[in-house]
Structure 1
Amino acid sequence: MENKNGIGRIGLIALIVSSCIGTGIFGITNAVAAAAAPGPALLAWLFVGFGFLMLVFALNNLSEKRPDLEAGIFSYAGAGFGPMGEFISGWSYWLSAWLGNIAFATMLMSALGTFFPVFSNGQNLTSIIVAIIFCWVLTLLVNSGVETATFINTIGTFFKIIPLVLFIIISIIFFKAGMFTTDFWGHVANNLSKGTETGSVYTQMKGTLLTLIWVFIGVEGASVMGHRAKDRTQAQQATIIGFILLLIIYVMISIIPYGTLTRAQLAAASQPALGNDLKLIVGSWGATIINVGLIVSVIISWLSWTMLPAETTMLVAEDKAMPKVWGKLNAKKAPTASLMITGVLQTIFLFSLLFTEQAYNFAYSLASAAILFSYLFVGLYQMKYSQEHQEWGQWTIGLLLVLFQIACMFLAGWQQVLLVSISFIPGFIIYYQGVRENNRTMSGGEKGTMVVVLAFSLIAIFLIFNGTIAVG
């Protein structure tokens, strides 16, 4: 199907890349170096890259086969597994979206701290208060019907890409092969890797997974591009090309610095890590460029991601998987109740970061763990739909995606996954209100699902109190 007024291949690629690159890449060198040496990090990228390629393939396929499902990736959960499936997927996606905003806040305050000492490392009281004010300004703007325009997105893309390209070029210029290959597999503790993981290759790979998942959050937005493309073939091509470009950028940003700074230096860099890395390599001007780009990028991205959690619950409510109030629009066509509830929760969570040593890492790890549920349902529906239509190649893609998501839950974030399950205690109360509001009776399967998830949440609470799970 051709749409002459639609977006072309290049425009689609730019949109896909822009939607994925956020704060994560500006802090990736710190987190990856702390967990893994270059060899295990490359293997982790191979694993995560393959898993997300399966997600992209599945989203492309479902977007083509089920163009009627336009309520986000959680609509696939609803089509395959009913209102409960859509609620779990949508609730997890909503949780991941606003937790991602917490990560935006901590990274933004850290970047401002390089120019204004009053913000320190981005975790003091001043930073939290300013972040809360910023959160509510954006919330009220969105509630007034403000939407991001194409030119704003273009500006944001420029400020994201230019500093990253500069970082890659400088890292290549100062690259030292001998430093890169020293202790390539991270088995030897020495001054170059002091304070970092020196365990097995498997342990090091496992330690990087949530970080690598975090930087790919947003790739699911490509699944809706087909509706705005000049033709569907171009949309599918752009999705694959955009994914490959992202993978190349991510790998270069996270791996090349092993040859410019010691692993200990990379792991010890405070956030935003890329700015502090460049400060060590070329001086303060490098950090200034990175941090200015980061500040502009975060502000623009934060506006978009203020809309996203509210729109998520609005669409789920329209499908009658949540109470109507979550989808009720004001005169400006904004979901006021959803925006206000999300704003209050973000405020509470921002204050809690005063008691968390690694605020940014804590926020993005929870966001990464939460979205695994939504991605898992995509794989499950891909399998179900493909089996019904006897498309066994597509069924295999769905199976590989499901196995990847389950592996990530167990290998990378089982503690975070259990923490996410606690959110379903109030979540299921909201779901039950929606069931009553829509004059529907819960099935035995829905009740059984609630019992299982709530059991996991009680286990999580117990493990928090006995110290097995350390919050933050």
Structure 2
Amino acid sequence: MTTPAPVADAPRTTHLGVPTMAMLVVGSMVGAGVFSLPRQFAESTGAAGALVAWGVAGTGTLMLALVFQTLALRRPDLDAGVFAYAKAGFGEYLGFFSAFGYWASACVGNVTYWVLITSTLGAVFPALGSGDTLLAVAVGSVGLWVFFLLVRRGIREATAVNRVVTVAKLVPIVVFVVLAVVAFDPAVFADNWGGSPGSGTLLDQVRGTMLATVFVFLGVEGASTFSRHARRRTDVGRATLLGFGSVFALFASVTIVSYGILPADEIAQLEEPSMGGVLDAAFGSWGSTFVSTGLIISVLGAYLAWTLMAAEVLFVAARDGDMPQFLRRTNEHDAPVPALAMSTALAQAVLLLTLASEHAFDFALELTGSLVLIPYLLAAAYGVRLLRRDQGSRGALVVAVAATLYTTWLLYAAGLDHLLVVFIVYAPASLLFVLTRREQGRRWFTARERVVLAISLLGAVAGLVALATGAIRL
């Protein structure tokens, strides 16, 4: 019997090139959201508002992607991506919150993927229901741990699978766009230009689509998260921009061509995945089956990418002394097994909670976006801080300021109820921070950190009271 290689705290590094890292970005961003875009947009706006909304969201997200590119080049020593920038700019405690929030966001998002898979299969197997039955949770639980075993075999093997799955899940989306262009009716598109009656002003319509764009653009930082594996630091920025540009063009196309197939009010009434309903209207009943198959492949690919990133965040945070030491251990395949197991365990716990939750799925989607906006905001703000005194980087500074304003506005647009629930998630995480400080023989909190702790605790208490009184409903 072969003796397993010993666990090491200083693993060998697996090097990834631009194509593979770009595929991680695409794999992270292209999940279930794209299959629901026609309905999500048609509920709020017409073709004109959709064009403006994609312009705003695309520009804002591009600013954020450029900030990640700039930070990767100017601070090559910070190889943990999102959370490392928060720590460098605003201290260890906020850096810890950024790491924890990003990780929790990935885990909550992963649960929604399994709910979507089982609910889609529920059309064929009624016992799966809407993804919230006992059988659906059992199927999802099996999937969680199968992927745990896959990623446990190593980053290189998992990213190789991710490349194949990413290509496979792009095929049905590209086919949808091509077929919709063939069936495109300019007269229907013209009727959909202003949206449905009563949809409000153009500004109201655009605001109504913003949270949908936040969710589908999650993952733009994928290459930055894996920067420790990059062959060259410049590859991180190139992969980010390549992945973002490809996904942006695809998402916008899916939305816009749908307005040339059906009236907006009919698109708004389609069942999810609404892309299937659009194809049904144009080519017959095979469209739903085709899109549902693509959705399952897409969601599995997105789950793999987010599982990789969630484990990587915990591992790097532990390696840098911001999480307990047990999370920095890796196996002989360079896989951070304790971090991966903790991520899978949290997803498992949340998946079990769906049995007792009436509206947990929709809220989980919004909570995923709210959790990740704080790490995004701190990274963009650090970009402003880093570039402010550099006279030769005024253009980069403008980009960082724009990204900061954009993420601040998105956090505001998410609403107070989501912010309070975020505090409920964040506040107990401070126990991990205390454990880390104890391992290092340091004082638990500095005076400034106690202020942040107090704010998070007050926010958590307010959130719990709001939940108890029914002011916030899950």
Matched, 1:428 2:450: no
* SS of 1:51 mapped into structure 2: helix
Matching residue of 1:374: 375
* SS of 2:91 mapped into structure 1: helix
Matching residue of 2:252: 251
Q: Is the 8 A contact 1:209 1:412 kept in 2?
A: no
Q: Is the 8 A contact 2:222 2:240 kept in 1?
A: no
* SS of 1:320 mapped into structure 2: coil
Q: Is the 8 A contact 1:107 1:272 kept in 2?
A: no
Shift of 1:187: 6.1
Matching residue of 1:462: 465
* SS of 1:69 mapped into structure 2: coil
Matching residue of 1:133: 142
User: Partners of 2:26 and 2:297 in 1: how far apart?
Assistant: 17
Q: Provide the TM-score with structure 1 as the length reference.
A: 0.88
* SS of 2:305 mapped into structure 1: helix
State which drifts further: 53-62 or 150-159: 150-159
Matching residue of 1:306: 307
User: Partners of 2:30 and 2:212 in 1: how far apart?
Assistant: 13
Q: Is the 8 A contact 1:86 1:316 kept in 2?
A: no
The one-character-per-residue Cα deviations of 1:50-88 (angstroms, maximum 9, x if unpaired) are 111111111111111111111222111111122112101
Amino acid of the residue matched to residue 119 of structure 1?
L
Matching residue of 1:317: 318
Question: Would the alpha carbon gap of residues 62 and 49 (structure 1) be closer, same or farther in structure 2, given more than 3 Å must change?
Answer: same
Question: Would the alpha carbon gap of residues 235 and 132 (structure 1) be closer, same or farther in structure 2, given more than 3 Å must change?
Answer: closer
Question: Would the alpha carbon gap of residues 64 and 48 (structure 1) be closer, same or farther in structure 2, given more than 3 Å must change?
Answer: same
Q: Provide the TM-score with structure 2 as the length reference.
A: 0.88
Unmatched runs of 5 consecutive residues or more in structure 2: 1-14
Question: Would the alpha carbon gap of residues 87 and 238 (structure 1) be closer, same or farther in structure 2, given more than 3 Å must change?
Answer: closer
Q: Map of 1:26-425 to 2, 5 A cutoff?
A: 26-143=35-152, 145=154, 148-149=157-158, 151-182=160-191, 184-186=193-195, 188-189=197-198, 198-223=199-224, 236-237=237-238, 239-329=240-330, 333-356=334-357, 359-390=360-391, 391-425=393-427
Question: Would the alpha carbon gap of residues 128 and 201 (structure 1) be closer, same or farther in structure 2, given more than 3 Å must change?
Answer: farther
Q: Is the 8 A contact 2:314 2:323 kept in 1?
A: yes
Q: Is the 8 A contact 1:148 1:303 kept in 2?
A: no
Question: Would the alpha carbon gap of residues 149 and 382 (structure 1) be closer, same or farther in structure 2, given more than 3 Å must change?
Answer: same
Question: Would the alpha carbon gap of residues 378 and 354 (structure 1) be closer, same or farther in structure 2, given more than 3 Å must change?
Answer: same
Shift of 1:344: 3.0
Amino acid of the residue matched to residue 67 of structure 1?
P
User: How many pairs were matched up?
Assistant: 459
User: Partners of 2:17 and 2:314 in 1: how far apart?
Assistant: 30
Question: Would the alpha carbon gap of residues 410 and 393 (structure 1) be closer, same or farther in structure 2, given more than 3 Å must change?
Answer: same
User: Partners of 2:203 and 2:461 in 1: how far apart?
Assistant: 30
Q: Is the 8 A contact 1:83 1:320 kept in 2?
A: no
User: Partners of 1:328 and 1:338 in 2: how far apart?
Assistant: 8
Matching residue of 2:31: 22
Q: Is the 8 A contact 2:83 2:375 kept in 1?
A: yes
Q: Is the 8 A contact 2:72 2:234 kept in 1?
A: no
Q: Is the 8 A contact 1:128 1:350 kept in 2?
A: yes
Question: Would the alpha carbon gap of residues 104 and 167 (structure 1) be closer, same or farther in structure 2, given more than 3 Å must change?
Answer: same
Shift of 1:137: 2.4
Shift of 1:239: 3.7
Q: Is the 8 A contact 2:31 2:302 kept in 1?
A: yes
Matched, 1:449 2:459: no
The one-character-per-residue Cα deviations of 1:216-235 (angstroms, maximum 9, x if unpaired) are 11111233687777876676
Amino acid of the residue matched to residue 37 of structure 2?
I
State which drifts further: 148-157 or 206-215: 148-157
Matching residue of 1:439: 441
The one-character-per-residue Cα deviations of 1:8-41 (angstroms, maximum 9, x if unpaired) are 7666655543442122212222222223333323
Q: Is the 8 A contact 2:277 2:288 kept in 1?
A: yes
Unmatched runs of 5 consecutive residues or more in structure 1: 1-5, 190-197
Q: Is the 8 A contact 1:187 1:200 kept in 2?
A: no
Shift of 1:270: 2.7
State which drifts further: 72-81 or 34-43: 34-43
User: Partners of 1:433 and 1:373 in 2: how far apart?
Assistant: 23
Amino acid of the residue matched to residue 72 of structure 2?
S
State which drifts further: 103-112 or 59-68: 103-112
Amino acid of the residue matched to residue 437 of structure 2?
V
Q: Is the 8 A contact 1:110 1:272 kept in 2?
A: no
